C-alpha cells in the first residue's frame, strides 16, 4: 500500500522521525556507510545499526531495524520469517510515507524468505498478509 502525503517529506524529517523514535524508546543508533555491515538490530542491547538516512530507502530500512525492537514477533521464540515480516509491518505502520521505493527495498529484503513466490509479487503479498491481520 502506498501512502500519499499532502507534502513531500524531507530527508531531515525522516532522520528526525527515526531519531525521535529511538530516543523515546532508549534505543541507540549506530550509523554505518558500509552496506555489508550497516543493517542489524540488537534488541537485548536496545541498539540498531543503519546507513545514514539520506533517502527513502535508508529511512524505511532504519524503521525496519527499529521494528526488530519495537514490533511484535521479535523474541527468541519467533521464527526468522515472522520476525522479518513483523519488522516490515512495524516499519510500514509507523512510516511518515511509504513509496514505490519503499516497496522495492522491502521486496529485496524479503526475497530470501519466499521460495514459492516471484519477487515481483512480494510487496502485494506482504500487504495482503498485513491487511488480513495474520500477525498480531
pLDDT in tens, 25-69: 999 999 999 988 999 999 999 999 999 999 999 999 999 999 999
pLDDT at 71: 94
For residue 126, the surrounding DSSP H or E stretch is helix 122-131
pTM score of the predicted model: 0.81
Q: Is the pLDDT of residue 89 over 70?
A: yes
Decide: residue 13, CB within 10 A, 0-12 exposed, 13-18 middle, 19+ buried.
middle
Which of these ranges, 14-23, 91-100, 115-124, has the smallest mean pLDDT? Answer: 115-124
For residue 58, the surrounding DSSP H or E stretch is helix 56-70
Q: Is the pLDDT of residue 78 over 90?
A: no
Alpha carbon distance 112, 114 (integer Å): 6
Determine contact, residues 114/122, Cβ cutoff 8 Å. Answer: yes
Alpha carbon distance 88, 52 (integer Å): 19
Closest of 44, 46, 39, 35 to residue 88, by C-alpha: 39
Confidence band of 2 (pLDDT split at 50, 70, 90): very low
pLDDT at 131: 56
Which of these ranges, 19-23, 54-58, 96-100, 106-110, has the smallest mean pLDDT? Answer: 106-110
Closest of 122, 102, 103 to residue 112, by C-alpha: 122
Tell me which CATH code domain 11-131 carries. Answer: 3.30.2010
Determine contact, residues 129/135, Cβ cutoff 8 Å. Answer: yes
pLDDT at 111: 73
Amino acid at each position: 500500500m502506498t501512502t500519499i502525503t499532502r507534502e513531500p517529506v524531507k530527508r531531515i524529517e525522516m532522520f528526525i522521525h527515526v531519531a525521535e523514535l529511538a530516543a523515546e524508546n532508549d534505543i541507540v543508533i549506530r550509523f554505518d556507510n558500509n552496506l555489508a555491515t550497516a543493517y542489524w538490530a540488537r534488541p537485548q542491547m536496545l541498539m540498531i545499526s543503519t546507513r545514514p538516512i539520506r533517502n527513502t530507502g535508508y529511512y524505511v530500512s532504519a524503521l525496519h531495524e527499529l521494528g526488530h525492537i519495537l514490533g511484535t514477533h521479535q523474541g527468541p521464540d519467533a521464527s526468522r520469517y515472522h520476525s522479518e515480516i513483523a519488522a516490515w509491518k512495524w516499519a510500514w505502520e509507523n512510516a511518515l510515507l511509504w513509496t514505490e521505493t519503499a516497496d522495492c527495498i522491502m521486496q529485496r529484503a524479503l526475497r530470501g524468505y519466499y521460495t514459492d513466490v516471484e519477487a515481483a509479487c512480494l510487496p502485494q503479498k506482504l500487504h495482503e498478509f498485513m491487511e488480513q491481520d495474520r500477525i498480531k
